[in-house]
């Protein structure tokens, strides 16, 4: 087994060669789920003016200092301020101004009495007077200028993948666009004379191409723009020509098939060896041992050559391609999460290789997470893959595990 490369070594060499895509400026809708390329700074305080946190009445604290249910205080209502009203208002002692949530606080006001503390809660608030049944101190129900963020504060840090929460913070600060890493463009193709397009008739000896559809879907799930190229026959010249044609729309290329352990039909190896930039190796993993990675074209576009068996291709994508997609976006958190779970059945694993076994992970069990290995772990058994929501990872030095033991489990997206 000395000729096998560890999973960690292969991945480290991949990530070392990946450079993040140059940032571009995009509008907020276009930037959703992309990675921020520079800090977003608050150019103004948030909020930018003192405003009311509730519907109620702006008052001076001394005017309601004695208010209670037994001895309410009644004040004349001298105005009303709605949210968005930019007029200049001033509050005089002994009076109240009706105010809506988010409305700018009038000069002189010290607090807002919630409408629920007044007789307006039942009268509809249209009276020229308001009776207040409770007291509060200065600052009550007021949002002060800058109490959310001060001018110059970092609202969202570089490297953050923009989810709805971050989009809200950016928009609230008045930014209509941001600098982000663009969505990677991934081109996927499968090779093999045996491949037929789904939806067409086949004869014995041919199979429907599932890999290119699967890998394109996996790339989209990882946040990419994915382009699927129809299957390419086992012809090295045609494979190379097809790859070169795709470079114009690719930030990353993924092939499946044609990289087995040797033979005249390893057309991807044959084609790419002419460029001298691809390393083909055996990685100490099952499924997915034959792997290739390098760059192609004048722009050094990264290319992954994955095995042809569908499960091998899928596991390889999650183990190697997905982290590389993250690296293109300067994001090291795109890799799958790992959890600990109790095995519900025994399993076996070959010595010297890390196994990735399809499984069903139960995260709802009240006694803790449990995982069940699926029956049918062959690298061609795509029906079993369709049932899985997790991969049990078995270390290279472990050949068997028993029910009740705790295993590391990769949670599939």
Q: Where are the domains of the chain?
A: 7-21+182-328, 24-46+147-181, 51-143, 338-411
Q: Considering the domain 24-46+147-181 in this protein, what is its CATH number?
A: 3.90.105.10
Instruction: Name the 3-class secondary structure at 357.
Output: strand
Q: Answer for the pair 232, 189: CB distance below 8 angstroms, yes or no.
A: yes
Residue range 174-194: mean pLDDT, rounded: 92
Asked if residue 282 has pLDDT above 50, the reply is yes
Pinpoint the alpha helices (H) of 76-223: 120-123, 164-172, 211-221
Residue range 186-204: mean pLDDT, rounded: 82
Question: For residues 201 and 82, which has the higher predicted lDDT (pLDDT)?
Answer: 82
Asked if residue 194 has pLDDT above 80, the reply is no
Q: How many CA atoms lie within 13 A of 253 on its CB side?
A: 30
φ, ψ dihedrals at 265, nearest 5°: -95, 5
261 band by pLDDT with thresholds 50, 70 and 90: low
Tell me which of 2.170.190.11, 2.60.40.10, 1.10.3720.10, 3.40.50.11540 is the CATH number of domain 51-143.
2.170.190.11
Q: What is the pLDDT of residue 1?
A: 47
Residue range 339-353: mean pLDDT, rounded: 96
Residue range 210-214: mean pLDDT, rounded: 90
187 band by pLDDT with thresholds 50, 70 and 90: very high
- In the structure encoding, which two tokens stand for residue 143, read together? 């949002």
Q: Considering the domain 7-21+182-328 in this protein, what is its CATH number?
A: 3.40.980.10
Q: What is the pLDDT of residue 372?
A: 96
Q: What is the pLDDT of residue 91?
A: 97
Q: What's CA 226's distance to the chain center, in Å?
A: 16
CB neighbourhood size of 4 (10 A): 17
Give the range among 116-125, 158-167, 257-266, 267-276 with minimum mean pLDDT: 257-266
Mean pLDDT score across all residues of the chain: 92
CATH class of the domain at 338-411: mainly beta
- In the structure encoding, which two tokens stand for residue 169, read together? 């913070």
Q: Answer for the pair 55, 82: CB distance below 8 angstroms, yes or no.
A: no
CB neighbourhood size of 106 (10 A): 20
Q: Answer for the pair 61, 110: CB distance below 8 angstroms, yes or no.
A: yes
Report d(CA 229, CA 238) in Å as an integer.
13
Q: What is the pLDDT of residue 64?
A: 97
Q: Answer for the pair 384, 358: CB distance below 8 angstroms, yes or no.
A: yes
Please report, rounded to a whole number, the percentage of residues in the chain having pLDDT higher than 70: 95
* R_g of the chain, CA atoms, integer Å: 31
CB neighbourhood size of 210 (10 A): 17
| Distance between first and last Cα of the chain | 32
Residue range 179-201: mean pLDDT, rounded: 87
Length of the chain: 413
Q: Compute the 3-state secondary structure of the chain and give helix, strand, coil in percent, each to the nearest 5.
A: 20, 30, 45
Q: What is the pLDDT of residue 265?
A: 54
Taking only the tens place, the pLDDT of each residue in 309-324 is 999 999 999 999 999 9
Q: What is the pLDDT of residue 305?
A: 92
Q: What is the DSSP letter of 69?
A: S
Report d(CA 49, CA 52) in Å as an integer.
10
Closest among 222, 232, 233, 228 to 254, alpha carbons compared: 228
Q: Answer for the pair 167, 11: CB distance below 8 angstroms, yes or no.
A: no
Question: For residues 234 and 261, which has the higher predicted lDDT (pLDDT)?
Answer: 234
Residue 355 CB contacts under 8 Å (≥ 6 apart), including other chains: 285, 286, 349, 392, 393, 394
Residue range 171-178: mean pLDDT, rounded: 96
Report d(CA 190, CA 405) in Å as an integer.
39
Give the range among 89-98, 335-344, 351-360, 376-385 with minimum mean pLDDT: 376-385
Cα-Cα-Cα-Cα dihedral sign, residues 30, 33, 38, 39:
positive
Report d(CA 169, CA 156) in Å as an integer.
8
Residue 2 CB contacts under 8 Å (≥ 6 apart), including other chains: none
CB neighbourhood size of 123 (10 A): 12
């Amino acid at each position: 087994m000395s000729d096998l490369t560890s999973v960690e070594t292969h991945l480290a060499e991949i990530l070392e060669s990946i450079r993040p895509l140059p940032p571009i400026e995009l509008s907020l809708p276009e930037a959703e789920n992309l990675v921020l390329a520079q800090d977003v700074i608050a150019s103004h305080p948030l909020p930018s003016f003192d405003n009311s946190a509730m519907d109620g009445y702006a008052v001076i604290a001394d005017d309601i200092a004695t208010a209670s249910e037994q001895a309410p205080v009644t004040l004349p209502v001298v105005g009303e301020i709605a949210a968005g009203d930019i007029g200049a208002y001033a509050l005089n002692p002994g009076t109240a101004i009706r105010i809506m949530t988010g409305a700018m606080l009038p000069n002189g006001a010290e607090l807002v009495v919630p409408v629920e503390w007044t007789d307006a809660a039942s009268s509809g608030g249209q009276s020229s007077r308001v009776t207040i049944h409770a007291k509060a101190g200065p600052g009550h129900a007021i949002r002060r200028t800058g109490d959310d963020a001060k001018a110059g504060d970092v609202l969202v840090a570089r490297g953050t993948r923009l989810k709805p929460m971050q989009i809200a913070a950016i928009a609230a600060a008045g930014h209509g666009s941001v600098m982000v890493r663009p969505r990677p463009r991934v081109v996927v193709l499968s090779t093999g004379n045996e491949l037929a397009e789904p939806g067409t008739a086949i004869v014995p000896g041919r199979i429907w191409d599932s890999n290119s559809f699967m890998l394109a879907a996996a790339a989209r799930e990882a946040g990419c723009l994915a382009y699927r190229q129809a299957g390419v026959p086992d012809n090295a010249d045609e494979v190379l020509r097809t790859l070169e044609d795709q470079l114009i729309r690719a930030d990353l290329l993924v092939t499946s098939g044609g990289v087995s352990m040797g033979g005249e039909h390893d057309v991807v190896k044959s084609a790419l060896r002419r460029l001298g930039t691809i390393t083909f190796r055996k990685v100490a993993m099952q499924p997915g041992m034959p792997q290739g990675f390098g760059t192609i074209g004048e722009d050094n576009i990264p290319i992954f050559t994955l095995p042809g068996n569908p499960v091998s291709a899928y596991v390889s994508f999650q183990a190697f391609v997905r982290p590389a997609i993250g690296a293109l976006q300067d994001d090291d958190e795109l890799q799958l999460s790992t959890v600990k779970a109790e095995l519900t059945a025994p399993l076996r694993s070959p010595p010297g290789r890390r196994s990735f076994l399809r499984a069903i992970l139960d995260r709802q069990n009240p006694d803790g997470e449990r995982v069940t290995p699926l029956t049918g772990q062959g690298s061609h058994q795509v029906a079993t893959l369709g049932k899985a929501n997790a991969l049990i990872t078995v270390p290279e030095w472990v050949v068997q595990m028993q029910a009740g033991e705790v295993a590391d489990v990769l949670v599939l997206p």
